[in-house]
Amino acid sequence: MVGGRKNVNVEVDRTSEVYFPDWIYSRVQLDEELGLEGFRNENEQEKARKMIIVSLWCIQTDPSNRPSMSRVVEMLEGSTESLTIPPRPCLSSSPSRAAELG
């Protein structure tokens, strides 16, 4: 939903783009365009970026890395600048991640 693309795109050249959380993680980490449309101003785009970062925290493979619901609320109410980008999802199919796991 965030990037306006399907979770799996069999036509991509790079396997790291097959898994959507890995794709969006890379875009957020590099501060690249997120493919978001229909926003009227920069404030709305910032809110969307904040929700994306929080959602990446919430899907961490290791449950101990996931925030509590009260922490999620704090992150959503706080500033985007105060948010840190979580560790890359472990289910990533990127070659560097596969080397770490393998």
pLDDT in tens, 35-64: 666 777 888 888 888 998 999 999 898 899
Domains of the chain by residue range? 15-94
Least confident of 7-11, 72-76, 95-99: 95-99
Amino acid identity of residue 78, one-letter, is G
CA neighbor of 84 nearest in space, from 40, 54, 46:
54
**Can you say how many angstroms the Cα of residue 66 is from the centroid of all Cα atoms in its chain?**
13
pTM of the model: 0.67
Coil/strand/helix, residue 31: coil
55's CB contacts (< 8 A; 6+ apart) are: 2
